[in-house]
Amino acid sequence: MTSPSAADYGWIRSASSVFNYALEIGYTMTLVRGVSPAELLRTAGADPRDTCVGIDEFIREHGEIMFGYASWPESFLAGAFEVPGEGGRWALALEFGGDLGTRSSIMEALSAGTRAVSHSSNGGKPMDFFHSYQDGELRVTFEWPADRTGSAPDELNALMREVGLNPTGDEDPGLDRKAAVLALTERLTGVRVTEHLLRDAEYLTGEVPEEPY
């Protein structure tokens, strides 16, 4: 098997891609090793809902929740399912317009004794973030690959270079950075995210309350 590269994730830019909705309105994708979907949602403080069969049903339920609020949403829908990956089973959680995978308290709890990785975009003129946690600690995080923080900001440099992300300078202008981040995530998790996987998964869902200001 070849090592994952940005080219493996070129499908996210297809006009018919199921990922278009995520890129348009914003998303967070979180992967946690050795944790069940139910445990992931419980750790995130989600109010359990139902199971959505396929991403179309998941998107419809997300929309119903958003339209149910007169003004600012008080919660967002997260959906999780189990996938095989490096070292065993992983829970993959997806949200549209949510921030589960960017909340340090949740990610620290989820990654205690294991690994958790997330990437996100806020849609529109996006801010795109990547987070890698190990044993309850944020090891590497960045928006721009050359501007990293965390307790071990350089530990992924070799992998970043392999997928086309430059940890020390300007990027190749032809690189799809979002596709490269998906490839980097696969390098760390062993989970290949495909259009088929997202389209046909059974999403165990829950409503995660917004953080109070």
Query: Which DSSP state fits 114?
Result: S
pLDDT at 67: 76
Which tens digits make up the pLDDT trace of 136-182?
Answer: 999 999 999 999 999 999 999 999 999 999 999 887 888 999 999 99
Q: What are the E-state strand segments in the chain?
A: 27-33, 47-53, 75-85, 88-96, 115-121, 128-134, 137-142, 148-149, 202-209
Report the percentage of the chain scoring pLDDT > 90.
Answer: 80
Could you give the CA distance from residue 189 to residue 204 in angstroms, rounded to a whole number? 21
Q: Which residues does residue 142 pair with via DSSP β-bridges, in sequence order?
A: 130, 148
211 pLDDT exceeds 80?
Answer: no
Mean pLDDT of the chain: 93
Nearest to 201 by CA among 75, 59, 63, 71: 59
Q: Which two tokens stand for residue 108?
A: 């620290």
209 pLDDT exceeds 80?
Answer: yes
Could you give the CA distance from residue 96 to residue 11 in angstroms, rounded to a whole number? 19
Residues 6+ apart with CB under 8 A from 62: 76, 77, 96, 97
**Phi/psi at 178 (5° precision):** -65, -45
Q: Which two tokens stand for residue 192?
A: 């290949």
Q: Which of 15-19, 84-88, 139-143, 208-212 has the lowest mean pLDDT?
A: 208-212
Are the beta carbons of 27 and 210 closer than 8 angstroms?
A: no
Q: Which two tokens stand for residue 179?
A: 């596709």
DSSP three-state, residue 7: helix
Nearest to 188 by CA among 150, 135, 133: 133
In this prediction, residues 118-138 reach a mean pLDDT of 93
Q: Which residues does residue 106 pair with via DSSP β-bridges, in sequence order?
A: none
Read off the pLDDT band of 123 (50, 70, 90). confident
Could you give the CA distance from residue 158 to residue 161 in angstroms, rounded to a whole number? 5
**Phi/psi at 92 (5° precision):** -110, 125
Q: Which residues of 165-192 are buried (b: 16+ CB within 10 A; e: fewer)?
A: bbbeeeeeeeebbbbbbbbbbbbbbbbb
Higher per-residue confidence, 2 vs 157 = 157
Long-range contacts of 149-157 (CB under 8 A, 24+ apart): 156/132, 156/184, 156/188
Higher per-residue confidence, 66 vs 113 = 113
Residue 48 carries which side chain, given as an amino acid letter? P
Which tens digits make up the pLDDT trace of 59-94?
Answer: 999 988 877 675 666 789 999 999 999 999 999 999
213 pLDDT exceeds 70?
Answer: no
pLDDT at 27: 95
